[in-house]
A and B are shown apart, each in its own frame.
Chain A
Amino acid sequence: MRALLRISRRDALRAKGRTALIMVMIGLPVLVITGVLTFWETADVTLSEGIVRKLGAADLRVKTSGYAKVRAQYGDDGIPPYGEGAEPPEKAAATTAAQVAARLQPGSRLIGFDEGSVEVRTERGYDHITALEVDLRDPMTRGMRPLVEGRHPAAPDEVAVTPAMKRRIGDTIEVTREGRRVKVVGVVQDPFDTGVVEVVGFRGVLLDEGDGRGIGWLADTPSPATWADTRRLNDVGLVGLSRVTAESDLSAEGTMSTRVVVGIAVAVFMVGMETVLLAGPAFAIGLRRRATALAMIAAQGGSKAHLRVIVLTDGLVLGGAAALVAGVTGVAGGLALVPLLSESMGPLEVPWWSVAGVMALGVGSGVAAAMVPAVLAGRQNPAAVLAGRSDAARDRAGRPLLGLVLVLAGVAATVLTPLTDEVWIFAASVLGLLGLVALVPSLVALTGRLAVRLPLAPRLGVRDAVRHRMRTASAVAAVMAATAGAVTAGIGVTSQDAAARASYSSSTPVGTLMISAYGADDEEWARTRQAVQERLPGIALAEAFEPVDSDGRSAGLYAERLRECASCTHLPPGVLVGDQRLLEVMQGRHDPTAAAALAEGKAVVFGPSRLRDGRLSLRIDVDGSTAKLTRFETQAVVAEAASRGVTSVLVPPATLKAKGFGLKERTVFARHQPQDVKLLREHLTVASSKVSVRLEGGYERDISIVMIVLMGGALVLVLGGTFVATALAAADLRPDLATIAAVGAPSRTGRLILAGQAGYLAGLGAGRRDRRRGPRCRPRLGHDVEDSRLRRDRLAGPDRPDPGDDRGGAVGAGERDRGRPAAAGRPGGGSVRADASAPSHPSPYLTRRILDCLCGSRSQSSMNIALNPCRSAISASVSVR
């Protein structure tokens, strides 16, 4: 083995160009993947890695959980007990430092440490930023927020800010709704995140701790804190974070679903196969160059196994070297890029097992790519090679039957795969792709016959490709795999997009502006209404009401589903309570029929699935209490909304009044699209911190970037595969090109031959038509629309406000779920002569064909050469050679 490794290593050093090419092909994916993994691992700061920003130099961080008892604690999260006490009380009793001290080791010292967020006045309104209340002068906070400039706050009216807040020392800022003015005296830095916008001040300055939650302390204990200390705190509903408990952070431990495992397996297979298909021909051409050396080894007693092992060792040596170089470069690159590309950076960290796995994939790809050339090396006839006769084993016609079966299986699997799940689409398409790879040699042979009608240069190019079927098939398969992968992924993405677009639904028509302030009191709402009118002068507003019970508590209003199915969830549709004005906003016009029905006290349903015998079933519950749940039916009519996909219900106020519920206005709608929704929200938050502003923008998801990346990647692979195969063909064609030049062909003929072959390779590889169905855009049944919406909602979390989503996503703080229209449907916002033993010297066949062409009589046989002076002259020159 040492002798074989020695030969492979030395040959690799002798053929530097080929070695570099193979190493790049094998190493590139390894480099990229290891780089990304290392980058990710280092940029990600786990609770344990970043513990200093939570603890500083303290031993323990204690905070209230809001629960009476904490059953289990993972990292910084306390898990409530089962049954009673599982829900946090509306307002917990304040926990005092003395109570906390009593649960700690005797002699412990405590200082306040609270985390939360605070509103900071800006030129246009208020911004919500992270806030920390702690005395940074205390030694316990050492390392928590290193001072960059100025000094730590020393008085209640002083704060320190992070650089990302872009405030200078000496600036005065207004914090909280109370307009508390504080002076910036220092700039501090989060040790792991340069992008965090944060303000640090004394306790009671920044945070509202009125609800008894989020209060915390830092503790300096006589001996290092243990799990026992934490358990004592858990018993009274406190969470105790120490360096020991930080190790149990569940969020740092990923569990992989079957879908993820399948996705990784498919990705590994596709990367490995693409590498093998691209590097395989390079090993094959290396085998041809070393045929004599291998025959010599055979003459000296090398067995077929020895020859196979030599070629496989090439794969091992090159794969190993490529993986090693790429792995090291990837890791170094990943580490070097973190500070340049990421604001967040933990300790330098390399995921060794993952990196080792990716490097093993590189080595495996190298060995796999050398597999077929190794088998051919074993079949080589040393006597023939040593006699100077070409011994290229006749390339096989592939395995068309197996290929056909796999293709059919792949098609069947893709048809049966859910259209909207890319991972399973990829997994199913791998079967078809393997079938196509098995079919490629037959396809090459088949398409080669068509070359008879081509001009000389492309004809020779195609026929050379067909003669060297293995080399050609490998390149075509590589191009095909890249194309098919991109096409499949593209179809997956567009199908998903089309399905999501088709099933998109919303509570209000596209172009409807909704401004609400759930949880606001009457005075706040009055201010908000006034602010809205001032900011939207001349815009007709339509009010929507929130039902309240006799005690003034808000009630949730839901429309019952009529159809039941196993996969259906029961998230509420949007139920609005409003009058004619709101109806016109919903319809975008005046609909006398619907208006009359609403005036008669009937509900108006946008979407028929909820009606039975003209009646709609509604449900009301107050504060989530099932005891007070009320169901009732009301007459309803179906009407068309201003845009498709609206699935809400409009109930007249009188209906609820008749049921004994009061109504309070907390929402207004308008057919209006403000230029800057975020700006409008900032303005309105001056009136109430509970303001939410949403513009229904319809289905919004831009897949063009995904498609550009997919097609760009496929293009690189198609061009790469074609270039490699053409370069190898150029090396193989050298004797034939010399013959062509010898008989007087211009130099461009040789280039045209290679171009013809390149075009053939790329055309055959990329010309595959994907057999997959086109995107299915229309839902099969009426309820599918809602089902997919519900699934998305479930994944996204129902009606959860997303501060970054201003168009269609709820904007604002302090929203409550109940009683407001559901923000439905927002995924993203919304290949003649098949003679393989042809000699390397000018072939008579080739010469004859060239003569036929150059003398302009392709149809005549070579027997006529003597009758044609042109041919005789050229023939004589060839004979002399």
Chain B
Amino acid sequence: MTSVVTLTDVARVHGEGEAAVHALRGISLDVQAGELVAVMGPSGSGKSTLLNLAGGLDRPTSGEVTVEGVPLSTVKDLAALRRRSIGYVFQDLNLIPSLTGAENVMLPRELDGVRTREARAEALAVLEEMGLAAVADRFPDELSGGQRQRVAIARSLVGERRLILADEPTGALDTPTGDEILELLRSRCEAGAAVLLVTHESRYAGWADRVVFLRDGQIVDSTAPVVSAR
């Protein structure tokens, strides 16, 4: 097993002086390939901030984030890193409404300069692998919530990427659909991907190999799920 993302003593402070807000304090976390780590905690505990730092959408005030062995502090073009190494899945609004399912999946590859035909072939391959070939040419508003999340997960995996950062991906879904999404994420892990999952619900955390509890920006516990969903 190899580390896909590693956070070492990471802190993130918003603002300065008396107005400073400590979103994260001295977080250290390592997610291995094939591992699904769930992050839980109350609102404002820093879950999303943790995900943003892991994906390079935000930079830590101190500490270091390493993705695929590359320290992000040394990376100038974080956007390029996200296109090639990191996939994001959010609760909703995951897809660009004006692009079809396949075009949404193609997006990171096209942004990376891959020719349209090649990007489409890659996207269709991922969609087919995930059983979504039939919805490839539908627009997001023609898809169900579950289908949208599946397409988003497909997009997070297109190319050579094997790190999925999922922020409440089941938040807008009913329980059976949510289970399907977690099952899918689990299967991607079995295929070698690393998944960092932020969730409120312990039900879904049951799919994880490890659960990290955050409170006031600090990891207060890190354990295997009490009840495994697998």
Binding site for B on A (CB under 8 A): 2-3, 6-7, 10-11, 13-14, 292-293, 296-304, 306, 382-383, 386-387
Contacts and interface: CB of A to CB of B under 8 A. Distances in A.
A387 B103 contact: no
30 contacts: A2-B110, A3-B107, A3-B116, A6-B99, A7-B98, A7-B99, A11-B98, A293-B96, A293-B97, A293-B98, A296-B94, A299-B55, A299-B82, A299-B88, A299-B90, A300-B88, A301-B79, A301-B81, A301-B82, A301-B84, A301-B86, A301-B108, A301-B111, A302-B83, A302-B111, A303-B79, A304-B79, A306-B111, A383-B57, A386-B90
B137 interface: no
B143 interface: no
Interface in B97-152: 97-99, 103, 106-108, 110-112, 116
Given A6-B103, A383-B58, A300 B111 contact: yes
A810 B169 CA distance: 89
B126 to A, nearest CB: 14
B222 interface: no
B82 A296 contact: no
Contact of B57 (A10, A11, A297, A382): A382
A3 B97 CA distance: 13
Contacts of A293: 93, 96-98
A297 B111 contact: yes
A303 B76 CA distance: 11
A269 to B, nearest CB: 34
B155 interface: yes
B77 interface: yes
Interface of B: 48, 52, 55, 57-58, 77, 79-84, 86-88, 90, 93-99, 103, 106-108, 110-112, 116, 155, 167
B80 A297 contact: no
B96 A298 contact: no
B99 A301 contact: no
Contacts of A304: 79
Nearest to B98: A10
Nearest to B161: A301
A382 B87 CA distance: 15
A298 B78 CA distance: 10
A620 to B, nearest CB: 86
Contacts of B77: 303
Contacts of A296: 90, 93-96
Find the residue from A7, A11, A299, A382 having the highest chain B CB count within 10 A.
A299
B80 A298 contact: no
Contact of A3 (B48, B86, B87, B111): B111
B168 to A, nearest CB: 11
Nearest to B57: A383
Contacts of B93: 292-293, 296
Given A296-B96, A302-B83, 16 more contacts: A2-B116, A3-B103, A3-B110, A6-B98, A6-B103, A7-B99, A10-B98, A11-B98, A299-B57, A300-B82, A300-B88, A300-B107, A301-B79, A301-B81, A303-B80, A304-B79
A109 B140 CA distance: 81
B75 to A, nearest CB: 12
A313 to B, nearest CB: 12
A6 B108 CA distance: 14
A6 B119 CA distance: 14
A301 B110 CA distance: 10
A300 B83 contact: yes
A383 B103 contact: no
Name which of B55, B94, B99 has the most chain A CB atoms within 10 A of its CB: B99
A382 B111 CA distance: 17
Contacts of A298: 57, 79
Contacts of A292: 93
A298 B155 CA distance: 13
Contact of A383 (B52, B87, B95, B98): B52
A125 B222 CA distance: 114
B48 to A, nearest CB: 6
B84 A14 contact: no
A297 B97 contact: no
Contacts of B88: 299-300
Q: 3 tightest CB-CB pairs across the interface, nearest first? A: A301-B83, A10-B98, A303-B79
A719 B16 CA distance: 46
A7 B94 CA distance: 15
Nearest to A293: B96
A298 to B, nearest CB: 7
A7 B98 CA distance: 6
Contacts of A302: 79, 83, 107, 111
A765 B58 CA distance: 41
Nearest to A301: B83
Contacts of B103: 3, 6
B174 to A, nearest CB: 22
A10 B79 CA distance: 24
Contacts of B84: 301
B99 A10 contact: yes
Contact of A300 (B48, B116, B155, B167): B155
A306 B97 contact: no
Contacts of B80: 301, 303
A299 B77 CA distance: 13
Contact of A14 (B48, B94, B97, B111): B97
Nearest to B165: A299
Contacts of B95: 296
Between B81, B83, B108, B111, the greatest number of chain A beta carbons within 10 A of the residue's beta carbon is seen for B111
Nearest to A13: B98
B89 to A, nearest CB: 9
A383 B88 CA distance: 12
A3 B106 contact: yes
A756 to B, nearest CB: 33
A387 B99 contact: no
A7 B167 CA distance: 25
A527 to B, nearest CB: 86
Nearest to B115: A2
